A and B are shown apart, each in its own frame.
Chain A
Amino acid sequence: MDTHAIGDLKKLLGPDAVLHRPEELLLYEYDGSVETARPNCVVFPRNTRDVVGIVQIANRYQTPILGRGAGTGLSGGALARQGGILMVFSRMNRILKIDAENQRATVQPGVVNADVSAAVAHLGLHFAPDPSSQKASTIGGNVSENSGGPHTLAYGVTTNHVLSLEVVLPTGELVRVGSPALDSPGYDLLGLFVGSEGTLALITEVTVKLTRLPEAVKTLLAIFHTVDDATETVVDITARGITPAACEMLDGWTIRAVEAHVHAGFPVDCAAVLLLEVDGLREAVEQQAEDVAEVCRLHHAREVRMARDEHERALLWKGRKNAFGAVGRLSPTYYVQDGVIPRTKLPATLRRINEIGKKYNFEIGNIFHAGDGNLHPIILFDAREEKQFQRAVAAAEEIICFCIEMGGSITGEHGVGMEKDRFMPFLFTEDDLNLMRRVRDAYNPTGLLNPGKIFPSTKGCGEIHVRPLPVGASRA
Chain B
Amino acid sequence: MSTTSAIHGSRLADIVGPSNVITDPGQLAAYAIDQKVPSAAARPQSTAEIVDVVKFAAKEKLTMAATGARTKLGMGLPPRQYDIALDMTRLDHLVSYDPGDLTLSVEAGIPLHKLGAILAEHHQFLPLAVPYYHRTTIGGAVASGVDGPLRQFYGTARDYLLGMEFVTGEGVAAKSGGRVVKNVTGYDIHKLMIGALGTLGVITRLNFKTFPMLTSSRAFIATFQTVERACGMRNRVSQSHLTPITMEVFSPGASALFSSEAASRIAPAATPTSNALAGSRWTFTSGFSGNPNTLARYETELGKMAEECGAVDAAVLGAADLTSAFALKREFIPIALESSPATTIVKINVQPRQMSEALANAAREADNNRLRWVAMARGLGVIYFAVLPPESSEATRQQVIRAADNTLAACVALGGHATIPWCPTEWKSALKVWGLPRADFAQMLKLKKVFDPAGVLSPGRFVGGI
Q: Which residue of A lies closest to B446 (CB)?
A: A442
**A104-B351, A186-B441, A241-B213 as given contacts; A435 in contact with B172, CB under 8 Å:** yes
A386 within 8 A of partner (CB): no
**A414-B184, A428-B175 as given contacts; A189 in contact with B417, CB under 8 Å:** no
With A and B bound together, what is the CA distance between A287 and B354 in angstroms?
Answer: 37
A342 / chain B contacts, CB cutoff of 8 Å: 98, 101, 103, 179-180
B434 within 8 A of partner (CB): yes
B158 within 8 A of partner (CB): yes
**A432-B176, A439-B450 as given contacts; A181 in contact with B182, CB under 8 Å:** no
A458 within 8 A of partner (CB): no
With A and B bound together, what is the CA distance between A186 and B443 in angstroms?
Answer: 10
Contact yes or no, A442 B450, CB < 8 A: yes
- Report the stretch among B132-140, B236-244, B334-342 that lies at the interface: B236-244
Contact yes or no, B192 A408, CB < 8 A: no
What is the distance, in angstroms, from A109's C-beta to the closest C-beta of chain B? 18
Contact yes or no, A287 B352, CB < 8 A: no
Q: Which of A148, A181, A194, A428 is B349 in contact with, Cβ under 8 Å?
A: A181
B3 within 8 A of partner (CB): no
With A and B bound together, what is the CA distance between A156 and B464 in angstroms?
Answer: 32
B406 within 8 A of partner (CB): no
B253 within 8 A of partner (CB): no
Contact with B along A162-175 (1 / 0, CB 8 A): 00000001000001
B8 within 8 A of partner (CB): no
**A186-B438, A435-B174, A436-B176 as given contacts; A191 in contact with B158, CB under 8 Å:** yes
With A and B bound together, what is the CA distance between A436 and B98 in angstroms?
Answer: 29
What is the distance, in angstroms, from B54's C-beta to the closest C-beta of chain A? 13
Contact yes or no, B182 A369, CB < 8 A: yes
A82 within 8 A of partner (CB): no
Q: Which residue of B lies closest to A404 (CB)?
A: B178
What is the distance, in angstroms, from B107's C-beta to the closest C-beta of chain A? 18
A90 within 8 A of partner (CB): no
B398 within 8 A of partner (CB): no
B4 within 8 A of partner (CB): no
A residues 436-471 near B (Cβ < 8 Å) are: 436, 438-440, 442-443, 454
What is the distance, in angstroms, from B393's C-beta to the closest C-beta of chain A? 29
**A185-B438, A344-B100 as given contacts; A431 in contact with B174, CB under 8 Å:** yes
B463 within 8 A of partner (CB): yes
A146, A188, A372 — most chain B CB neighbours (10 Å): A188
**A181-B351, A191-B158 as given contacts; A344 in contact with B98, CB under 8 Å:** yes
Q: Which residue of A lies closest to B380 (CB)?
A: A182
Q: Which residue of A lies closest to B147 (CB)?
A: A183
A412 / chain B contacts, CB cutoff of 8 Å: 180, 182-184
Contact yes or no, B297 A283, CB < 8 A: yes
With A and B bound together, what is the CA distance between A440 and B196 in angstroms?
Answer: 19
**A215-B241, A342-B103, A442-B450 as given contacts; A181 in contact with B350, CB under 8 Å:** yes
Q: Which residue of B lies closest to A440 (CB)?
A: B187
With A and B bound together, what is the CA distance between A433 and B174 in angstroms?
Answer: 9
Size of chain B's interface in residues, with CB distance under 8 A? 81
With A and B bound together, what is the CA distance between A156 and B181 in angstroms?
Answer: 10
Q: Which residue of B lies closest to A287 (CB)?
A: B291
What is the distance, in angstroms, from A436's C-beta to the closest C-beta of chain B? 5
Contact with B along A233-245 (1 / 0, CB 8 A): 0010011111100
Q: Which residue of B lies closest to A213 (CB)?
A: B241
With A and B bound together, what is the CA distance between A181 and B416 in angstroms?
Answer: 6
Q: Which of B159, B182, B294 is A340 in contact with, Cβ under 8 Å?
A: B182
With A and B bound together, what is the CA distance between A145 and B185 in angstroms?
Answer: 10
B124 / chain A contacts, CB cutoff of 8 Å: 241
B residues 97-154 near A (Cβ < 8 Å) are: 98-103, 123-124, 145, 147
Q: Which residue of B lies closest to A442 (CB)?
A: B446
Contact yes or no, A195 B184, CB < 8 A: yes
Q: Which of B180, B241, B351 is A373 in contact with, Cβ under 8 Å?
A: B180
Contact yes or no, A189 B242, CB < 8 A: no
B419 within 8 A of partner (CB): yes
A176 / chain B contacts, CB cutoff of 8 Å: 439-440
A410 within 8 A of partner (CB): yes
Contact yes or no, A408 B180, CB < 8 A: yes
Number of A-B contacts (CB under 8 A): 236
B290 within 8 A of partner (CB): yes
B302 within 8 A of partner (CB): no
A residues 93-128 near B (Cβ < 8 Å) are: 99, 101-104
B296 / chain A contacts, CB cutoff of 8 Å: 283
**A157-B182, A284-B291, A442-B447 as given contacts; A188 in contact with B195, CB under 8 Å:** yes
What is the distance, in angstroms, from A51's C-beta to the closest C-beta of chain B? 17
A78 / chain B contacts, CB cutoff of 8 Å: none
B36 within 8 A of partner (CB): no
B212 within 8 A of partner (CB): yes
Contact yes or no, B192 A187, CB < 8 A: yes
Contact yes or no, A432 B174, CB < 8 A: yes
A residues 133-184 near B (Cβ < 8 Å) are: 145-146, 148, 152, 156-157, 159-160, 169, 175-177, 179-184
B424 within 8 A of partner (CB): no
B200 within 8 A of partner (CB): yes
**A188-B191, A235-B100 as given contacts; A436 in contact with B184, CB under 8 Å:** no
A15 within 8 A of partner (CB): no
B322 within 8 A of partner (CB): no
A104, A169, A409, A410 — most chain B CB neighbours (10 Å): A409
What is the distance, in angstroms, from A6's C-beta to the closest C-beta of chain B? 31
Contact yes or no, A101 B191, CB < 8 A: no
Q: Which residue of A lies closest to B166 (CB)?
A: A435
**A186-B440, A241-B124, A407-B180 as given contacts; A195 in contact with B188, CB under 8 Å:** yes
B residues 401-426 near A (Cβ < 8 Å) are: 415-417, 419
B155 within 8 A of partner (CB): yes
A292 within 8 A of partner (CB): no
Q: Which of A156, A212, A434, A442 is B159 in contact with, Cβ under 8 Å?
A: A156
Contact yes or no, A243 B417, CB < 8 A: no
B residues 436-466 near A (Cβ < 8 Å) are: 438-441, 443-444, 446-447, 449-451, 462-464
B186 / chain A contacts, CB cutoff of 8 Å: 416, 424, 427-428, 432-433, 436, 454
Contact yes or no, A344 B192, CB < 8 A: no
B124, B159, B349, B435 — most chain A CB neighbours (10 Å): B349
B381 / chain A contacts, CB cutoff of 8 Å: 181-182
Contact yes or no, B179 A442, CB < 8 A: no
With A and B bound together, what is the CA distance between A187 and B102 in angstroms?
Answer: 28
A196 / chain B contacts, CB cutoff of 8 Å: 187
Q: Which residue of A lies closest to B298 (CB)?
A: A281
Contact yes or no, B168 A435, CB < 8 A: yes
Contact yes or no, A283 B175, CB < 8 A: no
B213 / chain A contacts, CB cutoff of 8 Å: 241
**A238-B102, A283-B290 as given contacts; A439 in contact with B187, CB under 8 Å:** yes
What is the distance, in angstroms, from B462's C-beta to the closest C-beta of chain A? 8
Contact yes or no, A102 B351, CB < 8 A: yes
A265 within 8 A of partner (CB): no
B102 / chain A contacts, CB cutoff of 8 Å: 238, 241, 343
With A and B bound together, what is the CA distance between A2 and B169 in angstroms?
Answer: 43
A192 / chain B contacts, CB cutoff of 8 Å: 187-189, 191-192, 447
Q: Which of B103, B179, B297, B450 is A435 in contact with, Cβ under 8 Å?
A: B450
- 4 closest residue pairs by CB, A with B: A241-B212, A191-B191, A283-B293, A215-B241
21 example contacts (A-B, Cβ-Cβ < 8 A) are as follows A103-B238, A159-B188, A175-B443, A181-B415, A184-B438, A186-B444, A192-B188, A196-B187, A212-B243, A238-B100, A239-B100, A340-B181, A340-B182, A373-B181, A410-B185, A412-B184, A414-B184, A416-B185, A428-B185, A442-B450, A443-B446
B residues touching A (Cβ–Cβ < 8 Å)? 98-103, 123-124, 145, 147, 155, 158-159, 168, 172-176, 178-189, 191-192, 194-196, 200, 211-213, 235, 238, 241-243, 290-291, 293-294, 296-297, 347, 349-354, 380-382, 415-417, 419, 434-435, 438-441, 443-444, 446-447, 449-451, 462-464
Known pairs A188-B158, A344-B101 / 12 extra A-B pairs, C-beta < 8 Å:
A102-B353, A152-B182, A181-B416, A186-B444, A186-B464, A241-B123, A340-B182, A424-B185, A429-B174, A429-B175, A434-B172, A439-B447
